[in-house]
Copies of this chain bind each other. A is one copy, B any other.
Amino acid sequence: MSETYAFGIDVGGTTIKHGLFNGKGELLESWEIPTRTEENGKNILPDIAASIRGKMKEKSITAADVKGVGIGVPGPVLEGGIVNSCVNLGWGVVDVQEELSKALEGIPVEVGNDANVAALGECWKGAGRGYKNMIMVTLGTGVGGGVIINGRILPGSHGAGGEIGHITVNKHEEDACNCGKKGCLEQYASANGLVRMTRKTLARKHGQTKLVDDETLTSRLIFDLAKQGDVVAKQCVEDMCETLGETLAQVAAVVDPEAFVIGGGVSKAGTIVTDTVKKYYLPAAFHACRNVIFKLAELGNDAGMYGAVRMVLQK
Contacts of A253 in B (CB 8 A): 160, 163-164, 166-167
Question: With A250-B250, A251-B254, A255-B147 in contact, do A288 and B159 touch (Cβ < 8 Å)?
Answer: yes
Contact indicator B167/A254 (Cβ below 8 Å): yes
Contact indicator A157/B251 (Cβ below 8 Å): no
Assembly of this chain: how many copies? 2
With beta carbons under 8 angstroms apart, the residue of B160, B168, B180, B258 that contacts A256 is: B160
Contact indicator B257/A166 (Cβ below 8 Å): no
Interface residues on A, range: 35 or more
Contact indicator A289/B158 (Cβ below 8 Å): yes
Contact indicator A181/B250 (Cβ below 8 Å): no
Contact indicator B133/A287 (Cβ below 8 Å): no
Query: Does A28 sit within 8 A of B, measured CB to CB?
Result: no
> Interface code A161-175, partner B: CB below 8 Å = 1, 0 otherwise?
111101110010000
Contacts of A256 in B (CB 8 A): 154-161, 163
With beta carbons under 8 angstroms apart, the residue of B164, B255, B286 that contacts A181 is: B286
Query: Does A15 sit within 8 A of B, measured CB to CB?
Result: no
Query: Does A179 sit within 8 A of B, measured CB to CB?
Result: yes
CB distance from A61 to the nearest CB of B (A): 33
> Interface code A99-126, partner B: CB below 8 Å = 1, 0 otherwise?
0000000000000000000000000000
